[in-house]
Structure 1
Amino acid sequence: MGWERQRTVLSADRMTSPADRLHPALVHHIVHHYRWPRLRPVQEMALDPILDGHNTVILAPTAGGKTEAAFLPLVSRMLDEDWQGLSVLYLSPIRALLNNQEHRLREMLTLVGHQVGVWHGDIPDSEKERIRHEPPSVLLTTPESLEGMLISRRTSAAQMFAHLQAVVIDEVHAFAGSDRGWHLLAVLERLSRWTLPPADVPSPADLQRIGLSATVGNTHDIVHWLSHGSARPRTTIDPPRPDGDLPDVTLDWVATLENAARVLATLHRDEKRLVFCDSRVQAEELTVLLRRLDVETWITHSSLSTDVRSRTEQAFAEASRGVIVATSALELGIDIGDLQRVFQIDAPWTVASFLQRMGRTGRREGTRPNCTFLAITEAGLLRAAALLDAWRHHAVEPATAPTAPFHVLAQQMIAHTLECGTRTRNELLDTTLTLCEAAAIDPIDAEQLLEHLVDEQLLFEDEGVLGLGDEATAQLGRRNFLELLSVFTSPPPFTVLQGPREIGQVSASTFEPGEQVQQTLLLAGRTWRVGTIDWARRKAWVTPMETVGKVRFEGQGPGMSALLAAAHRRVLLGSSAAEEHWSRRAAPVLAGLRDEHGFLQDDGVVGTLEDRTITLWTFAGDRANRRLGHWFRLLGWERVS
C-alpha cells in the first residue's frame, strides 16, 4: 500500500485501498512524523468498518497495532466530520494501562490539533476541574471512574458527554469474562442517554463501540455481547497470522523457587527477561532470591503504589539487561521496552494468558516469540503441560460473562437514581433494560429486586417517584459515594509508607494486633521493619532492613476452565500434542504422574475411594465441579470440597 494520494477508482464509489479514505492531514503525519512505509494488516482491515460506523472487535497480538487500528479511522472521522468537544472515550480495565497509552494517543492527537486527557483516582482534582471546563477530544478512563463522573454533582454529564461519538474498550476480553463487563454495558447505556443523537435519529444516541483484544476464543460472541443496546452493524477483525517458525517454548522442571532463581541467574544473563509469577507473594520472594544472586532485578504488581510501579517499569525499559518479575498486570499492553525472553514460574490458568505473555517477545524482525516454563510444583508442571497441549490444538478459552449479575443490577439501580436525583419506577427499569436483556434477567425478577431495594430503604418511593433511601445514604454516602462505585469489593487493604512515600498496599492479615516482637514486611522486593501501625486509618510506616520479611495479599486464582481440564486428561492419558516442548527434566516427572493416574479413562467420570473419601475425576472444570458439589450437598452430603 503506497501513501501517495493517487487513487485508482475501480467503480464510482470504490477505491483501491481503504487507506485512501483517511483524512489527508492524518496521512501526512503518518508519512512524515511516524515514517511508516505502510499500515499493518490489522490496521488496514479495520479502516472500512470503523469509518463506516460499525461496532468492531479487533484481535491482534500484544504490540500488534490494535490501538492505532482503532484510532486512525476515528481521528480521520474527527477531522472529516469536525467532531466537537469530548468525542471519544478510551476505557481500560486498569489505571496503569491508561497512563501507558496516554503518551501514544497524545502524540497522535496533538499532531492534528486535538487534545487528550486522563481521568482516574490518581489524577489531581485541579486537572479534573480543567477537564470539566475544557473537555479534550479523547478521554482515557476506567468504567468505574466514568460512573463516578455520572453521579458527581461537580460534573455536568449533559455538557461533558453531549458530543460523544465512540467508545474504545481495551482488553475487552477482561471485561466480557467478568462482572465488570455487565457493569460496563450498564454504564454505556446510561452514558448514551446524555449524548445528543444526530438530528435524524431518535434518542438515545447509539454510540459506536470498538473492542480491542490480544487473545480470545470467541470474537464473534464478544462483538455481539458488546453491541447489546446498539443497532449498529457488527464486524470482527482477526487478521491471519504470518507464516513462520513455531515459537520457542520449553517446559522445564526445577522443583523449587530457589532452583528457579538459580536458572534465571544463569540463562541469558546479557538479555532483558520478564518473569511471570501467578501470585504477588511468589513474585516478592523470587525478587529477593534473584537479588541475592546479584541479578539486577525489578518487581511490579498491582499492590505496589503507582509511583513505585511507574519508576520500576521506566527503569527496566531503559536498562540494557536484567530481570523484571511481574504478575498478570504485565500481560496487558504496558510498555516496558524490548524484551528478549519470557519465563513463567509454574503456569498461568488460561491459554489466553500464556499467549499474551509469550507475545511480549518476538517482535523484532528475525526473532521468534518464546517462553520457558520453570515448574516448581507437580501441579504447576501438569498445568503447564496441559496449557501447551491446548495451545498446540489451537484452543483458546472463550470469554464468558458470569450469569445472573443481580448485584450489578442492584448497584446500577441505586447509582442511576443518585445520578438523576429521582426516577419513576418505569424510567429506572427502562434504564436497566439493556443489562437485563444481555444477562437474561427476567423483567419480573428486576421488578422484584427493585421492590426489595425499596423495602430495605436503599431507595424510597413517594407517589410513584423513586429517590435515594436513608439506608443507601448511611451505608454508601461516605467519601462522595465512593463505596457505591466499588461494586466488586474486597477487604480494604493497609497502605504501607516509608515516611510520606507510599510503597504499596497489603492485606491487614499481614500484621498481627498486639504482637510485641518486631514485625517485618516483604514488599517491592525489599524487607522492611514495621514501625507505627494506625489501625483506624489502615496505614503502616516502615523502614528498610536486611532480614527476610513476610507479606499477605487478598485474592485467589481464576480457577480451571473446562478447556484446560480436558487438556489435563489428554496429558495424563499420554496423548499430549506438545511433548516436543518438554525438557529432559520435565519428561520423567510427567511420565511418573501418568503412571500414578493409570486408572483414568478417555471420557466420562471416574470415581476413586481412599480413606473413606470419594474423589470424582470429572475433567469438567471448576464451574461444573462447583455445580456438582452443590447437588451433592442438596442430597445430604455434609463434607464436599
Structure 2
Amino acid sequence: MTSLHPTLAYHVTNTLGWPELRTLQAEALSPIKNGDDALLVAPTAGGKTEAVVFPLLSSMEEQRWSGLSVLYVCPLKALLNNLLPRLQMYATWLGRRVELWHGDVSGSRRRSILRDPPDVLLTTPESLEAMLIGTRVDHRRLMRDLRTVVVDEVHAFAKDDRGWHLLCVLERLTRLAERPLQRIGLSATVGNPGDLLSWLQGSGMGTRPAQVIAPEAVIGSDPPDIELDYVGSTANAARVIAALHQGEKRLVFCDSRRMVEELGEMLRGHGVNTFLSHASLSADERRRAEEAFAQARDCVIVSTSTLELGIDVGDLDRVIQINAPWSVASFLQRLGRTGRRSGTRRNCLVLALSRDDLLTAAGLLHLWGTGYVEPVQPPQEPRHIVAQQLLALTLQEGRIGDSLWPDWWNGLSPFEHRSAQPLLDHLIAEGFLERDGGGLLIGPAAEQRFGRRHFMDLTAVFTAPPEFTVLHGSIEIGRTDPGLLTSSVQGPRLLLLAGRTWEVDWIDWKRRRCFVDPVEGTGGEARWASSAFGGTSFSLARAMRDVALGADPSVRLTRRAVDVLAKMRAEIAGTVHPEGTVIVREDGDLYWWTWAGYRGNATLKATLGPLADPTHRVDDLRVRLRNDLTRSAWRDGLRTLEIRRPEVDDRALNGLKFNTALPRDLAVETLATRLADFSAAVFTLTGPTHLLSR
C-alpha cells in the first residue's frame, strides 16, 4: 500500500481491516496515478470501485487538486445511491467531499453543489446533459477543474445508444475543461476488453496511454455450482423455489416485469417472504424492498435485470434464473452476485418454463462452458445521436459557428464531416436550427418538438413507453401500461403491481394517474409494452444447434431436464445436420433451419428476396421459404444473391428517439444496419444445405 497516500493507507489497514489490497487494486494503482486511461475488468464484488477510487483520492491529495476534479458516472440512479455512503466515507478520511446529482436530488441540494462544488460528483449521462443545456448551471465554472471521468458498468453503456451519448458529452466536457480528461471504465467480464477501452477513449484513442487491467483470479477459483432444471410453468417454478433452500437468501431473475409480478404473487401465496424489483416500480417501492431484503435472511427477491448490476442487496446465498438471459455476459453478472463469503461458491439454479426455453438455456450454458463471452459492440451509425448533440450544443452555447461546431467533438467518428454535414443541413432545412450570419440558433421546429419542460426531452436518448402512475392515496406504487386501464373487463378492474392485487378506484386521464385500493386475494393483471429489439444472437443460436445435435452443457442437469432434452432432440432431429443447414417441409410449409439467430435470419430473409415467404415473421432459428420452391429454383436463386439489409417497418422508427430530426431515408438506413448480421448471413449461405423430406 506504499503507493497510496499515507492517511488513506492507514484507514485501509485500520478502519477497513484490509491486510493488503486485492490483485486488481494493486495493479491499478500505478497506471491510474500516472493519469493513464484504463479499463478495470472483474466480476461483481471484485473490488473495482476501490481499485479506481483509492489511487484517485491519493492523486487528489498529492497533486493538490481543487474544485470538481472527478466525475463518477453510472447507468442507474439506484447504483449511484448505493455507492454514495461508501465513497463519502473514503473521501472524508482525506477531508474531501463526494456529492450526488441526478433527477431525484432536490433543487436546494443542487444549488448548494453549484455554490460549493465537491471533489467528486456521482451522476448519470442524462444529468450531465441537463447541466450543460440548463440555463441555471454555469457549466464552464463547474467543469474547469475536471481531470478524470470514471464510467462504472461501462459495458452496459457501450452496448446501446446511451454509450454514444456519453462519449459525445465527454468530448464536450473535455473542451470545457480545456485539458484531456483521464477516462477510466469499470466492467464485468467482456469478450473484447481492448476494443471497449479504445471505444471509451473516444477522440483520445491512439494518442493517450491506455491499459486493460484484468487479473485472472479476482475471486475464488472454485468452479461454480450450476444446475439446469425443467419445471414447465411459472406456477411450478414458484413451488420449486418455495421448497428449496429454505432459510437462505435467494435472488430470482426473470426476463420480464410481468413475470416478476406473477412469480412474486405466487411465492407469497406459498408463504415465502418475497420482495420485488423492476423498473416500473416506484423508486421508493424498490428501495423499501431492497433494504428489507438486505436485512432479512429467509427470503426471496424477484427482479428483472435491475439487480444485475452492482447494487448491494446484502450477502446472497443463491441465485435462481428463470429461463435464460440473452447473453453469457449477463449470466456471468448474475452468477457473480453469489459466492462472496469466504468458503462459499458461486451458484445458479436455472429453471426452464417450456421446452423451447430449456433448449435456449441449455444452449447458453453450453456456450458459457466453452469460455465464450460476447464482444461488446456499440450500435452502428448513431446518426440520431449526432442530431441530438447538434441541438444540445446549440442550447448549451446559445449560438454555434456553422463551420466550427465539429471542434466540440474533437474528431469523434460520428462527427466526421461527410457523415455529419447532411444531418446538419437537414436540421436547418426543417427548422430545427436557424442560420444567423455565420452562426446557428435553435429554430422553431426544435422548440415545438423538444421544447417542453426546458428541452428536457433532449437529455435522454432512449424512448420510454407511455405509462400511467399508480397511486394508493399519495403513495406512488409504480407505473402500468395504459392498455390495462382501457381493456374490457367484467366486474372491478384489478391490477397486479408490487406483488399484490389492487382495485382501480378512479383514473385521472389528463394527468396519466391511476388511483387504487388494495384488495385481498389474487386475480390482478400485469402488463407492459415490450421494448425488446433483436432476439437470439448467432452465437447462442449455434450453441442451441450444438445441443440439438447432442452436446450437453457442462453443468448438472436434473432428471427432468435430461428426459425433456432427449425427447426434444428426437422430435427436432430433422431440423439439424452436423454438416450444414437443413431445408425441410413441415405440415405443407417449407422451412430453412438456419440456426442463425434473429438478426442473421432477418438479413437472410431480405437477401433471399422472392425465394422467401414475405408473410412470415422473422424467426430466431428458421426462415420460411416460398411454398412452391423447387430444388433447381433454390440452387439457381442462390447463384445470383447479393447480401441485403433487412427491411424496416415504419412503426420501428418510433423506437429510434430523435428520428424526427433525421431524413427518413437515413433513419431507415440506421435501423436496417443495426438489424443486420452480415457475417451470420454469409456464413449460412456459404455452408452446405441439405434438402430433406419429413
**TM-score under structure 1 length normalisation:** 0.92
The alignment status of 1:288 with 2:265, answered yes or no, reads: yes
The answer on whether the counterparts of 1:412 and 1:432 sit within 8 Å (CA) in structure 2 is no
- Superposed displacement of residue 433, structure 1: 5.4
Name 2:622's counterpart in structure 1: none
Structure 1 residues 428 and 39, CA gap change in structure 2 (3 angstroms): same
Residues of 2 paired with 1:450 and 1:224: CA distance? Answer: 27
* Counterpart position of 2:105: 123
- Tell me how far apart the structure 2 counterparts of residues 565 and 433 of structure 1 sit (CA, whole Å): 40
Please identify, of 246-255 and 376-385, the stretch whose mean Cα deviation from structure 2 is larger. 376-385
Provide the rounded CA distance (Å) in 1 between the counterparts of 2:447 and 2:532.
34
Alignment of 1:51 onto 2:26: no
* CA–CA separation in structure 1 for the residues paired with 2:305 and 2:201: 28
Measure, in 1, the Cα distance between the counterparts of 2:541 and 2:63: 51
Query: Partners in 2 of 1:153 and 1:612 — Cα distance?
Result: 65
Residues 18-62 of structure 1: CA distance to partner in whole angstroms, max 9, x if unpaired?
x32211111111112111111011111111111111111111111
Q: Which of 532, 537, 544 is equivalent to 1:568?
A: 544
Which residue type is aligned with residue 80 of structure 1? E
Residue 597 (structure 1) aligns with: 572
- For 1:433 and 1:79, locate their aligned partners in 2 and report how far apart those are by CA, in whole Å: 30
Say yes or no: does 1:168 pair with 2:150: yes
Which whole-Å deviations, capped at 9, do the CAs of 1:355-408 have from their partners, x for residues lacking one?
A: 111111111111110000111111221111111111110001111011111111
**Range with bigger deviation, 274-283 or 603-612:** 603-612
Give yes or no for contact 1:409–1:432 (8 Å, CA) kept in 2.
no
| Pairing 1:198-597 to 2, within 5 Å after superposition | 205-230=179-204, 231-241=207-217, 244-432=221-409, 434-435=411-412, 437=413, 439=414, 443-512=417-486, 517-546=491-520, 547-557=522-532, 559-578=535-554, 580-597=555-572
25, 29, 46: which one aligns with 1:64: 46
One-letter amino acid of the structure 1 residue matched with residue 375 of structure 2: P
Q: Deviations over 1:226-258 (max 9, x none)?
A: 112123211001111266332110000111111
Q: Is the 8 A contact 2:175 2:408 kept in 1?
A: no
Alpha-carbon contact 1:54-1:208 (below 8 Å) kept: yes
Return the alpha-carbon distance in structure 1 between the equivalents of residues 611 and 393 of structure 2.
Answer: 42
User: Which residue number in structure 2 is paired with residue 6 of structure 1?
Assistant: none
- Write out per-residue CA displacement over residues 558-598 of structure 1, whole angstroms, 9 at most, x where no aligned residue: 622222112111111112342x5211110111111211221
Q: Which amino acid aligns with 1:132?
A: L
Distance 1:305 1:152 in 2: 26
> Identity rate of aligned residues, in percent?
49
- Using a 3 Å threshold, how does the CA distance of structure 1 residues 350 and 415 change in structure 2: closer, same or farther? same
How many angstroms does 1:517 deviate by?
Answer: 4.1
Amino acid at match of 2:551: S
SS at 1:444's partner residue? helix
Q: Once the 2 structures are TM-superposed, how far is the Cα of residue 516 of structure 1 from its aligned partner?
A: 8.0
Deviation at 1:624, TM superposition (A): 2.0
Q: Is the 8 A contact 1:189 1:434 kept in 2?
A: no
Contact map agreement 2:249 2:298 (CA 8 A) in 1: yes
Change (3 A) 1:22 1:332: same
Classify the secondary structure of the residue corresponding to 2:404: helix
Do the aligned partners of residues 543 and 243 (structure 1) sit closer, same or farther apart at CA in structure 2, a change above 3 Å counting?
A: closer
Q: Is the 8 A contact 2:362 2:553 kept in 1?
A: no
1:419 positional shift = 0.6
Determine the C-alpha separation between the residues in 2 that align with 1:153 and 1:91.
22
Following superposition, the deviation at residue 206 of structure 1 comes to: 1.0
Match of 1:11 in 2: none
Distance 1:35 1:630, change over 3 A: same
CA change 1:636–1:374 in 2 (3 A) is closer
- Residue by residue, what CA displacement relative to the aligned partner does 1:69-107 show, whole Å, maximum 9, x if unpaired? 111111110010111111111111111111111111111
Distance 1:521 1:639 in 2: 36
**Alpha-carbon distance in structure 2 between the residues aligned to 1:338 and 1:377:** 31
Counterparts of residues 165-204 of structure 1 (less than 5 Å): 165-196=147-178
Distance 1:388 1:513, change over 3 A: closer
| 8 Å CA contact 1:413, 1:432 repeated in 2 | no
Distance 1:115 1:519 in 2: 50
Shift of 1:631: 2.9
Amino acid corresponding to residue 312 of structure 1 in structure 2: A
Q: Provide the secondary structure at the position in 2 that maps to 1:56.
A: strand
- Aligned-pair distance for 1:339? 0.8
Number of residue pairs matched?
Answer: 611
Q: Which piece of structure 1 moves more, 377-386 or 154-163? A: 377-386
Q: Which moved more, 1:321-330 or 1:235-244?
A: 235-244
SS of residue in 2 equivalent to 1:227: helix
Equivalent residues of 1:278, 1:328 under 8 A apart = yes
The root-mean-square deviation of aligned C-alpha atoms, in Å, is 1.7
CA contact (8 A) 2:277 2:303 kept: yes
Q: In 2, distance between residues paired with 1:233 and 1:184?
A: 21
Aligned to 2:682: none
Unmatched segments (≥5 aa) in structure 1:
1-18, 197-204
Distance of 2:559 and 2:390 partners within structure 1: 58
| Aligned pairs (5 A) from 1:6-85 | 19-85=1-67
Partner residue in 1 for 2:85: 103
Work out whether 1:623 is the aligned partner of 2:605. Answer: no
Tell me the amino acid that sits aligned with residue 43 of structure 2: P
596 and 443 in structure 1: CA distance in 2 versus 1, 3 angstrom threshold: farther
| Unaligned stretches of 5+ residues in structure 2 | 618-694
- Equivalent residue of 1:21, what SS? coil
Q: 1:138 aligns with which of 114, 117, 120?
A: 120
**8 Å Cα contact 2:605-2:612 kept in structure 1:** no
C-alpha distance in 2 between matches for 1:186 and 1:454: 21
Letter in 2 for 1:310: R
CA distance in 2, matches of 1:265, 1:515: 32
User: Structure 2 length as normaliser, TM-score?
Assistant: 0.86
* Residue 531 of structure 1: how far off its partner (Å): 1.3
Deviation string for 1:484-539 (max 9, x for gaps)? 11321132221111111111112222211786842111000011111111112111
Deviation at 1:633, TM superposition (A): 5.1
Task: State the secondary structure of the residue aligned to 1:264.
Answer: helix
For the residues of structure 2 that align with 1:406 and 1:418, how far apart are their CA atoms? 19
Deviation at residue 635 of structure 1 after TM alignment: 7.4
Deviation at 1:465, TM superposition (A): 1.1
